[in-house]
Amino acid sequence: MAVSASQVLNSALNTPATRRIYRVGPLHAVRAPMREIILAPPHEPVVVYDTTGPLGDPEFAASHDLRGPLPPLREEWIRSRGAGPVTQMALARRGEITPEMEFVALREGLAPDFLRREVAAGRAIIPANVNHPECEPMAIGRNFLVKINANIGNSAVFAGKGAPCGERPWIDEEVEKMRWAVHWGADTVMDLSTGPDIHETRERILRASPVPIGAVPIYQALEKVGGVAEDLTFDVFRETLLEQARQGVDYFTIHAGVLLAHIPLAEKRLAGIVSRGGSILARWCLAHRRENFLYTHFREICEVLRAYDAVFSLGDGLRPGALADANDEAQFAELDTLGELTRIAWEYGVQTMIEGPGHVPLHLIQENVERQRRVCADAPFYTLGPLVVDVGAGYDHVASAIGGAWIALHGTAMLCYVTPKEHLGLPNREDVKQGVIAHKIAAHAADVAKGHPQAIARDRAMSAARCEFRWEDQFNLAFDPETARAYHDESLPGDEAKSAPYCSMCGPKYCAMRMTQETRERV
């Protein structure tokens, strides 16, 4: 069987100290993967959430080409549902606990019926298109672990530079970025490609991805009309949406809340409209002096999404792109419209989440999330950061992690990562990794503060390992064991140092941990 570079990739977390385990459900016999971090005896392993699906299963990895396609985990579940309403929301409302719900309940350590109730109420979504059977079910909602999304995708500037005629390395590159993001813990991935081969790139990503894939169909629709926003029509859009839904895209950013009446509000801003989709639709609206066709045809869009159990990610086309524009009339006017659309989507049983900002100063973050909750009746909130400064260029992943942690603590369900390249260029592999890890820390900080037992257990295990100088355990409990180990080895390489009761930071004489341990023994 083919053995690919993926195995090298997976080895980072699949150290000898990591074990793949499965939690098996009593209702549908689903098997939900978890990762056990094995600690030095007699310490119990720490069980953590695992996003990697088959990619993180050593047996599978040893015998498959991990560039895809993955096995269709959900194929039977979907087939057995037959005709009728297929959305998780519709099923939940009918009282059914689906295999997807059971799978999520196992991963999150919750009761399956709690899942059902959250999905039925619209407080949580399970993005899992019926045509993306490779995807492992996961939930996004304020009462679950905080999730993070990684954006990938090429642009016309970057893709294909210098590629030999006939080769399309940019496709492989995006598949690799997806797997890399998932490897570091991304819960979902959005393919924002606007470069060449949009359809084929998305197809390859979907077939190889164990996590839900999001997309923004207006981008491809714009390609189809030669990049001229004014030439867009609902028919072109609908055809594109159908094409992507058929492929298996799990959630769609739809900028249906950018209304003609909102556009003048954004004119007052320092930074205007900074969302790609928002600016495309604003241009269309102004050119035709007509209402946004995504708004006027919203019920037709609901019908498409319902047919595939795809999920709305109602786009915030008017999100603030500068601190000065945060929480302004334009943003909140659009939010009101998103609340209205949420209720329409729910009429169709279409699962829905709401996208949020953007650039927001620290003191305005809480208002943002509380207002979203009220206006959108508790539909899950999915924010881009927010960045708490405008001047972080080169380090915007830090600016975003600061805002992300805070907004997640107040109930935001998923954070879209920001990489160090934000505002400067297209992220590469290293940027993707830095972005994912910074936001894993932000999400984890919120989980811990919200009292999630699984998150708290990992921190406690880390602190205990730290006090007892179990260096290998510390490395393995970190989000990036290799880097933690490498940093430690920089000044104290070798095996003896891994059991030394100190590190190079303070040296043996000044190690508070060691001194405390000794003092305890003497007392």
Within residues 356-385, the interface with a copy of itself by CB under 8 A covers 359, 361-364
C-alpha atoms less than 13 angstroms from C-alpha of 191 in its C-beta half-sphere: 35
- Least Å distance, CB 308 to a copy of itself, is 25
Which of 227, 246, 268, 288 lies at the binding interface for a copy of itself (CB under 8 A)?
227
By CB under 8 A, is residue 275 in contact with a copy of itself?
A: yes
Nearer to a copy of itself, 69 or 272 (CB): 272
Q: Does 3 bind a copy of itself (CB under 8 A)?
A: no
**Residue type, position 296, single letter:** T
The residue count of the chain comes to: 523
Q: Determine the Cα–Cα distance for residues 257 and 319; give it in Å rounded to an integer.
A: 11
Residue list 393-452, contact with a copy of itself (CB under 8 A): 393-395, 397-399, 401-403, 405-406, 409, 420-426, 428, 437-438, 441-442, 444-446, 448-450
Q: Does 60 bind a copy of itself (CB under 8 A)?
A: no
Q: What is the nearest approach in angstroms of a copy of itself to the Cβ of residue 392? A: 5
Interface mask toward a copy of itself for 98-137; x: CB under 8 A: ----------------------------------------
- What residues from 255 to 274 belong to the interface with a copy of itself (CB under 8 A)? 267, 270-274
Which residues between 145 and 164 bind a copy of itself (CB under 8 A)? 155-158
Q: Cβ closer to a copy of itself: 114 or 158?
A: 158
User: In angstroms, what is the minimal distance from the CB of 2 to a copy of itself?
Assistant: 32
Distance CA 177, CA 154 (A): 10
Shortest Å distance, C-beta 263 to a copy of itself: 8
Considering beta carbons, is residue 171 or 282 the nearer one to a copy of itself? 282
Query: How many residues touch a copy of itself (CB under 8 A)?
Result: 110
| Shortest distance in whole angstroms from residue 106 CB to a copy of itself | 23
CB of 126 to a copy of itself, least distance (A): 27
Cα–Cα distance between 173 and 158 in angstroms, integer? 11
Nearer to a copy of itself, 80 or 519 (CB): 519
Cβ proximity to a copy of itself, 60 vs 395, nearer residue: 395
How far is the CA of 159 from the CAs of 216, 287, 354, 422, in angstroms? 18, 30, 30, 18
Quick one: tokens of 210? 């164990």
Distance CA 182, CA 211 (A): 8
Window 305 to 344, contacts with a copy of itself (CB under 8 A): 321-324
Q: Classify the C-alpha dihedral 30-33-34-37 as positive or negative.
A: positive
23, 93, 190, 334, 377 from 339: Cα distances, Å: 37, 20, 23, 9, 7
Closest C-alpha to 278, from 235, 225, 238, 333: 333
- Answer for the pair 36, 47: CB distance below 8 angstroms, yes or no: yes
Contacting residue, 349, 392, 418, 472, with a copy of itself by CB under 8 A: 392
Outline where DSSP puts E strands in 130-235. Answer: 140-141, 147-152, 188-191, 213-215
Beta-bridge mates of residue 384? 416
Q: For 88-197, where are the alpha helices, taking DSSP H only?
A: 88-93, 99-108, 112-121, 169-183
Which residues between 451 and 490 bind a copy of itself (CB under 8 A)?
456, 458-460, 462-464, 466-467, 474-475, 477-480, 483-484, 487-488, 490
Q: Select 284 or 332, whichever has its Cβ closest to a copy of itself.
A: 284
Among positions 199-218, residues that touch a copy of itself (CB under 8 A) are none
Q: Which is nearer to a copy of itself, 242 or 286 (CB)?
A: 286
Tally Cβ neighbours within 10 Å of residue 232.
Answer: 23
Are 87 and 351 contacting, i.e. CB atoms less than 8 angstroms apart?
Answer: yes
Burial string for 393-413 (b: 16+ CB within 10 Å, else e) reads eeebbbbbbbbbbbbbbbbbb
Question: How far is Cα 435 from Cα 432, in angstroms, rounded to an integer?
Answer: 5
Q: Binder to a copy of itself among 1, 29, 165, 512 (CB under 8 A)?
A: 512
Q: Report the residue from 54, 195, 248, 411 that binds a copy of itself according to the rule CB under 8 A.
A: 195
State which residue, 125 or 280, has the beta carbon closest to a copy of itself.
Answer: 280
